[in-house]
């Protein structure tokens, strides 16, 4: 039973990792950079939701409905942040040496962390969502209600992104830039704008997930790095450029981490995750869904 409980816990948290990683994968695929500041978008989303709720209720506590209202705000704010970052900074290094792109996004990451530290201090914070009964039991398995809400929210965000990419004109433009930027320009797509929209959309998803994370874990200014690392593992694990791959990778990583924490120790979670990544890269270098996977 303990094994099943850990897996359930892992799937619930893994969906959040997956949604963050999907945005990371999108930027990697379309803008062709590894965005080391992606985790900071999660952090900023968490703080946006936190402060909006604080503004309304005075103490970052509220009903599930009131909390959900803060999600679109976090999404909109982070879209703007991502769009502006791409237009002002990241666009200057696209197509240059990979180390330069890493340096710039690492610099952005540090700058955001330090600004957040100055603005909000290093004190961990969280959003308290009030449920009459915080969990329920199904077949002997305990399911925390807020984790379930966060799970559903993350799945909805991931599915929405997938549908956006497949069904909308802007989504097609994003896929076109991802597959062939020169041909995209040829057919009249504004490639720079599309890249900025991609950065904005990816940041928005990360921001929305950050808001959910603020309800089940603490948020603090230096939390971003861990989400960037997890995203990297998930994307490589699932196959670069594949949204289904990132989803499956996220759910797997969540389960592996919960099982590791439950049966060994939470200190070993990252070590086990990266070990699995190395093994997978040896066995299947393109990742689970890499090459030929639908964009």
- In the complex, the residues that contact other proteins under the rule CB under 8 A are 169, 172-173, 175-176, 178-180, 182-190, 294-295
Tokens found for residue 184: 């995209």
CB 49 within 8 A of CB 127: yes
**Which CB, 140 or 292, lies closer to other proteins?**
292
CB of 104 to other proteins, least distance (A): 21
CB of 76 to other proteins, least distance (A): 24
**Which CB, 35 or 178, lies closer to other proteins?**
178
**Which CB, 7 or 189, lies closer to other proteins?**
189
**Which CB, 114 or 294, lies closer to other proteins?**
294
**Which CB, 147 or 175, lies closer to other proteins?**
175
CB of 96 to other proteins, least distance (A): 14
CB of 187 to other proteins, least distance (A): 5
CB of 143 to other proteins, least distance (A): 38
């Amino acid at each position: 039973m303990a094994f099943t409980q850990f897996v359930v816990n892992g799937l619930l948290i893994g969906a959040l990792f997956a949604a963050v990683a999907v945005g990371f994968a999108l930027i990697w695929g379309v803008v062709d950079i590894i965005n080391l500041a992606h985790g900071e978008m999660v952090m900023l989303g968490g703080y946006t939701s936190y402060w909006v709720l604080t503004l309304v209720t005075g103490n970052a506590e509220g009903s599930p409905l009131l909390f959900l209202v803060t999600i679109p705000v976090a999404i909109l704010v982070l879209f703007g942040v991502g769009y502006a970052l791409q237009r002002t900074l990241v666009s200057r290094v696209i197509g240059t040496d990979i180390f330069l792109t890493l340096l710039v996004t690492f610099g952005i990451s540090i700058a955001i962390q330090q600004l957040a530290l100055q603005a909000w201090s290093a004190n961990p914070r969280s959003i308290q969502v009030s449920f009459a009964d915080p969990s329920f039991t199904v077949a002997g398995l305990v399911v925390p209600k807020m984790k379930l809400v966060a799970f559903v929210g993350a799945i909805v965000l991931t599915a929405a992104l997938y549908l956006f990419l497949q069904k909308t004109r802007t989504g097609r433009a994003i896929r076109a830039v991802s597959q062939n930027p020169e041909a995209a320009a040829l057919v009249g797509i504004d490639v720079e704008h599309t890249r900025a929209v991609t950065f904005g959309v990816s940041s928005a998803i990360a921001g929305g997930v950050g808001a959910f994370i603020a309800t089940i874990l603490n948020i603090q200014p230096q939390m971003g790095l861990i989400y960037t690392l997890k995203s990297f593992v998930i994307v490589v694990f699932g196959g670069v450029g594949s949204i289904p791959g990132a989803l499956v990778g996220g759910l797997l990583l969540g389960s592996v981490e919960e099982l590791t924490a439950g049966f060994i120790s939470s200190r070993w979670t990252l070590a086990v995750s990266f070990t699995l990544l190395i093994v997978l890269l040896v066995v299947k270098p393109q990742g689970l869904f890499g090459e030929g996977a639908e964009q």
